Chains A and B, each alone.
Chain A
């Protein structure tokens, strides 16, 4: 209880201290946005009585149970993601672990606290993703007030047991098989879980409404296919929506939670040994012994590349990102309509589709790359400040490295275009040319936003700790990137409109004649944005490296 009280006090302190409020605000805004999307989606379903009638017919009158089950399906997804990708750090690297091990108490107490913490975070995420949807259904069914009180029970019931299983498996594996390969496997599994969750979230957000309605229909019309913990939660809430308390479901859920706790307690006894072995095992590293260049910008570029290439975990992240991009291409996210546009020649439609996918792919990695400019170098910042080096040389080195990293989404989308869409041979050079122009533009935005003193100013301890500013930095980056690609979007809308006005659509010959000009314009435009971004970045970087 003392550890629990300490965590609750720490949580309370977040509200009463400025730094804590910044952390809370950052977390809350993200979750609130997700919650709003879930709420709107539920409202959209209720606006289609035909869909509800179809669900009722196909589920034999059990459509509420099915809909609640659909809503709660977010719970196991979140538990899998956090259990595999995030909780690992808590299990083996949380700073408080040392204290918990020294405490004269039972050896399972520390790991159980990790489960409690991870369970809380999972419940928050699952609550944001599933809560508004479920609440909307309960509201629509005029459920009694106490029905809403059962929602946390259903969410915890659908997340905690699964989370406990993932944590327990990691403890056992680390206890008996710790080593370099085990660490590598953990990194791979963690990265896969992260990408799997991001893909699921993206597909949920970006899938066309009619496609999503089909998913709802599939789950809601056959609720027996739901995972057991989700099904029991849905049953509990469905009964509550009718004004009944399903005691059997509630007992089953509580019993399952208790069993989880006691089973986890048993496994938790292995944690001390697992932690010791984890700390003793060496992290996977690839080292290169090639000599470094002399020019400062080249050294900085090499440093950024080495930081990536010498960490198998980071390389795995790149590979896993490839899986995500291929999944997006396969699902034809955003591009199904473009590819089947009857007014456009196939080459034009395919180029536009690849560019749309490239845009999404770049958007996914842009924030991570922005960190390379200043944010992730917090620990080294004092070194840069004290070095007699030209600020722009440092920035240029980093920007060239990021440019190389940004070629990865371009290559992936191009490969997916050949492999999945079987694009025409002439499409790839055109796509490549325009996308390189776009990459220049993206780099320009990165240079301007990723160095903005307002967002990236080092704290008094000389380090850059963004706190709540990270959210605004991300927002600024996304908005900035969307703004600079807006001319391309308007150009595209104009082209589609123009093609639709012509009876026979856009002639292929006309498109071919204009293609070199479009590529040249994209490259020129990208170069101009990059130059402007670099000018701003140069000024910003100088200010960032000046003591305040």
Chain B
């Protein structure tokens, strides 16, 4: 088996004495799509931000594509793509200009950048809006523009925080196809989502976070089997300890 593309060892982060993530052990294989499920405040975003190098861990270590953030900052960033819940768009750039900017920042050559960017914008249904200012975009469109921009950099490891929130069904479908295609190309994908359907359809494995730790993980089939062939929703409710479970 290959070395994991994403690996954490007792990873933790505390905010003023409260642990948002604690003793997190995670190993995602190259080309795998791993879904992070959990209630609000379970620590999904904190984990993604630590992996993206936006937040320093308070405890433990992490490796992305065999690299750590200390000392390899630039090399690690080069292989990493991150889609946050609120995309960091420039209000007064057009969608196409923004995609070109992000790809350039990741050192993608002009021709490759333009071809790949245009194809991604088309695929996400943004063709006719690509030359409008980002300021006027809806939340979903902003998200799609940023996803196109990040994918234009051809990341080896892709982190997505709630990628489908705010997207219409057509866009969700396009996103799922894109992510599956990326995974088939060898891109490792870690996404957090509240959409159990999305997780069931595209994730090779899912992990359910509760109280800052992975309470259970495995393929969807394994999880259902472990819980008496119940639906993923029931597994989720039971694992997170909600009354309906």
Segment from A65-73, A102-110, A309-317, A474-482 that makes contact with B: A102-110
**Any B CB within 8 A of the CB of A10:** yes
Q: Within the assembled complex, what's the spacing in Å between the Cα atoms of A2 and B90?
A: 13
Interface string of B70-87 (1 = CB under 8 A from A): 000111111010101010
Which chain A residues (57-99) contact chain B, with CB distance < 8 Å? 95-99
Which chain B residues (1-40) contact chain A, with CB distance < 8 Å? 15-16
Segment from A13-21, A143-151, A428-436, A450-458 that makes contact with B: A13-21
**Any A CB within 8 A of the CB of B101:** yes
Which chain B residues (47-73) contact chain A, with CB distance < 8 Å? 52-56, 73
Q: Are A2 and B77 in contact (CB under 8 A)?
A: no
Residues of B within 8 A of A98 (CB): 54, 84, 88
Q: Within the assembled complex, what's the spacing in Å between the Cα atoms of A20 and B73?
A: 36
- Known A-B contacts A17-B133, A104-B78, A276-B56; the reply to A6 vs B106 at CB < 8 A is no
**Any A CB within 8 A of the CB of B89:** yes
Which chain A residues (1-37) contact chain B, with CB distance < 8 Å? 2-3, 5-6, 9-11, 13-14, 17, 19-20
Q: Are B133 and A19 in contact (CB under 8 A)?
A: yes
Residues of A within 8 A of B105 (CB): 2-3, 99, 103-105
**Any A CB within 8 A of the CB of B97:** yes
Q: Are B54 and A101 in contact (CB under 8 A)?
A: yes
Q: Are A6 and B93 in contact (CB under 8 A)?
A: yes
**Any B CB within 8 A of the CB of A390:** no
**Any A CB within 8 A of the CB of B226:** no
- State the Cβ distance, B61 to closest chain A Cβ, in Å: 18
Q: Are A2 and B133 in contact (CB under 8 A)?
A: no
Q: Are A2 and B93 in contact (CB under 8 A)?
A: no
How many chain A residues have a CB neighbour from B under 8 Å?
29
Q: Are B54 and A102 in contact (CB under 8 A)?
A: yes
Interface string of B103-126 (1 = CB under 8 A from A): 011110000000000000000000
- Known A-B contacts A10-B93, A13-B133, A103-B105; the reply to A280 vs B16 at CB < 8 A is yes
B52: which of A20, A102, A106, A282 is its contact (CB, 8 Å)? A102
Residues of B within 8 A of A17 (CB): 92, 133
Residues of A within 8 A of B94 (CB): 13
B77: which of A13, A103, A276, A280 is its contact (CB, 8 Å)? A103
- Known A-B contacts A17-B133, A20-B92; the reply to A99 vs B102 at CB < 8 A is yes
Q: Within the assembled complex, what's the spacing in Å between the Cα atoms of A2 and B73?
A: 19
Q: Within the assembled complex, what's the spacing in Å between the Cα atoms of A429 and B56?
A: 61
- Known A-B contacts A17-B133, A19-B136, A102-B54; the reply to A2 vs B88 at CB < 8 A is no
Q: Are B92 and A10 in contact (CB under 8 A)?
A: yes
**Any A CB within 8 A of the CB of B227:** no
Q: Are A2 and B104 in contact (CB under 8 A)?
A: yes
Find the residue from B80, B86, B97 having the highest chain A CB count within 10 A.
B97
- Known A-B contacts A17-B133, A19-B136; the reply to A6 vs B78 at CB < 8 A is no
Q: Are A6 and B101 in contact (CB under 8 A)?
A: yes
Residues of A within 8 A of B92 (CB): 10-11, 13-14, 17, 20
Interface string of A264-284 (1 = CB under 8 A from B): 000000000100100010100
Q: Are B80 and A102 in contact (CB under 8 A)?
A: yes
Find the residue from B74, B92, B138 having the highest chain A CB count within 10 A.
B92
Q: Are A103 and B133 in contact (CB under 8 A)?
A: no
Q: Within the assembled complex, what's the spacing in Å between the Cα atoms of A276 and B104?
A: 26
- State the Cβ distance, B121 to closest chain A Cβ, in Å: 17
Find the residue from A97, A273, A280 having the highest chain B CB count within 10 A.
A280
Residues of A within 8 A of B15 (CB): 280
B90: which of A6, A101, A103 is its contact (CB, 8 Å)? A6
Q: Are A9 and B93 in contact (CB under 8 A)?
A: yes
Interface string of A458-470 (1 = CB under 8 A from B): 0001000000000
- State the Cβ distance, A124 to closest chain B Cβ, in Å: 16
B88: which of A10, A99, A105, A273 is its contact (CB, 8 Å)? A99
Q: Are B74 and A104 in contact (CB under 8 A)?
A: yes
**Which residue of chain B has its CB nearest to the CB of A94?**
B88
Q: Are B53 and A102 in contact (CB under 8 A)?
A: yes
Q: Within the assembled complex, what's the spacing in Å between the Cα atoms of A13 and B136?
A: 13
Q: Within the assembled complex, what's the spacing in Å between the Cα atoms of A393 and B76?
A: 57
Q: Are A19 and B135 in contact (CB under 8 A)?
A: yes
- Known A-B contacts A19-B135, A276-B55, A276-B56; the reply to A103 vs B106 at CB < 8 A is yes
Q: Within the assembled complex, what's the spacing in Å between the Cα atoms of A276 and B69?
A: 15
**Which residue of chain A has its CB nearest to the CB of B84?**
A98
- State the Cβ distance, B99 to closest chain A Cβ, in Å: 12
- Known A-B contacts A104-B77, A107-B73; the reply to A20 vs B106 at CB < 8 A is no
A102: which of B77, B93, B97, B107 is its contact (CB, 8 Å)? B77
Interface positions of B (Cβ within 8 A of A) = 15-16, 52-56, 73-78, 80, 82, 84, 86, 88-94, 97, 101-102, 104-107, 133, 135-136, 138
Interface positions of A (Cβ within 8 A of B) = 2-3, 5-6, 9-11, 13-14, 17, 19-20, 95-99, 101-107, 273, 276, 280, 282, 461
* 6 extra interface residue pairs, beta carbon distance < 8 Å, beyond A19-B136, A104-B77, A106-B74: A6-B93, A13-B93, A13-B94, A102-B54, A102-B77, A105-B105
20 interchain pairs, CB-CB under 8 A: A2-B101, A3-B105, A6-B90, A6-B93, A6-B97, A9-B93, A11-B92, A14-B92, A20-B92, A95-B91, A97-B88, A98-B84, A102-B52, A102-B80, A103-B77, A103-B106, A104-B73, A104-B74, A104-B76, A104-B105
Closest 7 CB pairs of A and B: A104-B77, A10-B92, A104-B78, A99-B88, A98-B88, A103-B105, A104-B74
